[in-house]
Amino acid sequence: MDVGLQKREEFKGNFMARYRGPRLRKCRRLDFPVFESPKFSNPRKNYVPGQHGPNQRVKLSNYGIQLREKQRIKYLYGVLEKQFRNYFKKAAAKTGATGENLLILLESRLDNSIYRLGFAPTRRSARQLVVHKHIMVNNRTVNIPSYSLKPGDIVQVREKSRKLQIFHDSMRRVSNDNPTSWLKIDKAQMRGYFETAPEREQIMEPINEQLVVELYSK
């Protein structure tokens, strides 16, 4: 496959990675707030969706627990099944713990970093901002949400996009110049710095990546 076609396919895959179904229902099904909006963080009903939800007493098998954890991570970071398998293969090929490598790869995505920096209120909106060419990396416009950042990369909002209200509304929630230990932000210039790859203990998402490793080891 030539480079141009590969990039177009990757772009298409990332654009279509967004979940378009009922999000509260998905959070209840996975028993996890996979979407960052506060209205999805505390589902009103503590049982699975569906006609018989209140009466269902489902005890998941070990496989079911592992599969649910994989689904949680997929929806949290907004990646497709094929993308997720590719990330896992890359993580397994690296030195170190596969599960930790997997999370570090996902955290290094451009859309995730836009969200972490506070340029977007959710990962979902961060993907849209990248796709619509509002974001630059090292002074070049990048419209691929899955673009993998490397230590030393500089992420910034395009100058002509800086007046968009979404950026200003979102950045109000950033209380300091270091939203995470591996990212640094210059609010005045709407610029962020990917200083180093994160370490596992710095990623505070309540997920158990080891369950995914066990799932793929079957």
CA dist 9 to 43, 121, 163, Å? Answer: 36, 27, 31
What pLDDT sits at residue 89? 97
Which of 208, 118, 104, 91 has the alpha carbon at shortest distance from 148?
104
Angle at 168 between CA 113 and CA 17, to 5 degrees: 40
The reported pTM is 0.77
List, for residues 49-68, the tens digit of each pLDDT value: 455 455 555 678 999 999 99
What pLDDT sits at residue 212? 96
**Residue 207 · residue 76 · CB < 8 Å:** yes
Which of 96, 141, 140, 145 has the alpha carbon at shortest distance from 120?
145
What pLDDT sits at residue 97? 97
Secondary structure, 3-state, 21-66: CCHHHHHHHHCCCCCCCHHHCCCCCCCCCCCCHHHCCCCCCHHHHH
What pLDDT sits at residue 179? 80
Residue type present at position 121 = P
What pLDDT sits at residue 214? 96
Domains of the chain (ranges; CATH) run 3-106 (1.10.1050.10), 109-196 (3.10.290.10)
Maximum distance among all Cα pairs of the chain, rounded to whole angstroms: 56
Q: What Rg, from alpha-carbon coordinates, does the chain have?
A: 18
- The Cα–Cα gap between 126 and 166 comes to 10
Angle at 206 between CA 24 and CA 192, to 5 degrees: 90
Residue 102 — very low, low, confident or very high, per pLDDT cuts 50/70/90? very high
Above 70 in pLDDT, residue 46? Answer: no
- The Cα–Cα gap between 169 and 121 comes to 8
Query: Helix, strand, or coil here: 103?
Result: helix
Q: What does the CA dihedral 133, 137, 142, 148 come to, rounded to 10 degrees? A: -130
Rounded to the nearest integer, the mean pLDDT of the chain is: 82
Here the tokens at position 114 are 């836009």
For residues 71 and 14, which has the higher predicted lDDT (pLDDT)? 71
What pLDDT sits at residue 79? 93
Contact partners, residue 206, CB within 8 Å, separation at least 6: none
